[in-house]
Amino acid sequence: MMKKISEKQRQRIVKYNIRQRKLQSRNNRTDNMKKERIKFSSKLSLFVPSERNKIIKILKSIPNNTFDSLYLNFIDLETINPLTALHIVHVLDKYKDRNVRFKSRNSKSLIPRAVFKLLKLNKNFGFKDVNKTNFKSSVDNWSMFSGYTSDLPDDMVRHIHDLKKMFKDPTVHFRLVTAISEAINNVIHHAYHDDQYNKWYVLTHIDDRSISVVVSDLGVTIPYTAPVSIMNTLEGTIANAKDIFIGASKDLDSLRKLKDSQLIKYATYLNSTSTKVKGRGQGFDDILNLVKNTNEFPEISRVHTSVLSKYGSYLLESNSDGSFRERSLKKNLEDFTSKIDGTVISWVIQLV
C-alpha cells in the first residue's frame, strides 16, 4: 500500500509543477520568437497578391518539411475565400502523412473559426477548444466531397440532385451539373498521371441567395497542357478557330511562351471550336454559356466563374444587362509572381 504524502510534500509537488509549466511556457515563447512570423490581413485569398504569396509560402513548406519554422497569425482574419480554403485543404490532404502541425494564433472572428473547424483545418493550425465556441449557422451551408474516380460519391449525387429545388428552369440545373461532372472528368483524364496523387475535391455552398461550387485538383495545370490543345485546334479545319484564338501564336514554342492567364483564357475557348480535340481546358462550355446569356434566365441575377492555375488567373462574369466581361486578377492578363499546384475552378450563381 502506497504511503500517503504529507501536506508539505503535496505543496512541494504543486510548486514544482507550476515551475515546470512556467518554464515550458517560456521555452515555447522563445521557440515561437525564433520562428518566421506570417501575419494575415482580414481576407485569406489566393486572389490578393500579398496574401497569395504568404499562403503559397506556407504550402510550399509542407513538402519541404520546413513548416515547423513558421508561426501563423490569423488574429485579424475575417473572411476566407472558398476557392482558397479548398486549395489549402487539398494540399494538406496530399501531405497528410507528414503530420503537419503549425504553431498558429486563431482569428478573433467567428466565421474564420467556424470555417477552420468545418474543413478540419483547426488541427493542422494547432487551434484548441474549437468545440467550445458556438458558430454561426451560415457555415452549415457548406458541403465538401472528394474522390479518386469520375464516379461521384452517393452523398454527393444526392446533394447535386437537391440543387434542382433551387431552379424553376431545369436548364440551369443541367448546365451546372454538367459543368461539375465535366470538371471532375477532366481531372481524372487530363490532370493526373497514373503514378500521381489523384484525388479531387468539391466544395459547395447553397443558400436562398446564391449557389457556389469549387472544384480542385493538384495535377497537371491548364497552362501546361493548353499549348498542345490550342495547336491541335489551329491545325484543324475549324473555320472560326483563328478568330477565337486571335493573338495566339501559330507554333508550339511561341504558345508555351504566352502568359499563364492568356493560356487559361484560350483553353476556355477549346470547346467553342466544336473540335474533337480532348484538352485539359474542356468542361467550361455550360457555365460559360450561362454567364454569357444570364439575361435569358429570369431567376438568375449574375454568374461569376473563376480559374486559378499555375501563375495564371481568369475570370468571366455576367452583367445585369446581359453582357459579360472577361479578365484576369491582374491588368492585361498579367500573371501572379507565385504559382499554385494544380487548378481550382469556382462558379457562383447569384439568384434574384
Question: Could you state, in chain order, the average pLDDT of each consecutive group of 10 residues for the chain (352 residues)?
Answer: 70 80 65 78 94 96 92 95 96 94 91 88 83 64 91 91 85 86 84 82 89 92 86 62 54 82 84 47 66 84 91 87 75 87 92 84
Helix (H, G, I), strand (E, B) or coil at 219: coil
Residue 275 near residue 147, CB atoms below 8 Å: no
Contacts of 266 (CB under 8 A, 6+ apart): 226, 230, 245, 248, 258, 281
Give the model's pLDDT for residue 281.
47
Q: What are the distances in angstroms from CA 151 to CA 155, 166, 200?
A: 12, 24, 11
Q: Which amino acid is at 150?
A: S
C-alpha cell at 138: 451560415
Q: What is the pTM of this model?
A: 0.83
Give the model's pLDDT for residue 26.
65
d(CA 55, CA 40): 9
Give the model's pLDDT for residue 277.
46
φ, ψ (nearest 5 deg) of residue 176: -65, -45
Give the model's pLDDT for residue 247.
55
For residue 324, the number of C-alpha atoms closer than 13 Å in the C-beta half-sphere is 20
Give the model's pLDDT for residue 175.
84
C-alpha cell at 15: 510548486
C-alpha cell at 316: 468571366
Strand 200-206 to 312-318 pairing: unpaired
